Amino acid sequence: MGDLRAALASHGITLPSLRPDLPTFAGTYEPPAGLIALGNCNAATARKLAAALRGSGRILLDLDLPATLGAVPDLRRTLRRCLGEPSADVQLCVTELVGNVIRHVGEGTPVRVRVARVEGGRVRVEVADPDARALPVLLHATGDDEAGRGLALLDAMALRWGVEQGVAGKAVWCELAEAK
């Protein structure tokens, strides 16, 4: 059990007690051998645990912030420091995804920005927000359109991208071949 705790701690995960709550069970419940009760984990811990168990890679940035135009330059600088290289592609993808939240969900919306190195040297960018209904749509903008190019740009740069929906919101993600 100590090895599990240590492995999860390396991903920033602390678990609640893994022992059954004896007053609750009062001898009427005998858990199966090896049962780990994780029902007391909050959503953030559950997300981190799921990412760690599926081998999501090394998290380079995990940041909660309000999606505002003023936050974008600081976010780009933070990305450069975290990646240790210019990483223009990663910065552009994060900027586009945060910009979409500002335009389609609303300025000041709380977002989580996560950047991780995953298998094969790829970089995964994920921007999560609390509105599960405002889904991204890939548009084909014409030369005269003033908007609608963000996801087309992301689609052209990324190896793949998608949306993970949950009851408390959504996460739009993309994976890049490497940080450039």
Extents of the domains making up the chain: 2-42, 56-176
Of 16-20, 94-98, 136-140, give the range with the top mean pLDDT: 94-98
pLDDT in the model for residue 72: 93
pLDDT in the model for residue 10: 66
Is the torsion defined by CA of 137, 140, 142, 143 positive or negative? positive
Higher pLDDT, 139 or 83: 83
Q: What is the pTM of this model?
A: 0.66
Residue 111's DSSP bridge partners are 65
pLDDT at residue 54 is higher than 70: no
Q: Which fold has domain 56-176?
A: Heat Shock Protein 90 (3.30.565)
What digits encode the pLDDT tens for the residues 28-51?
A: 545 444 444 555 566 666 666 665
Q: How many CA atoms lie within 13 A of 150 on its CB side?
A: 21
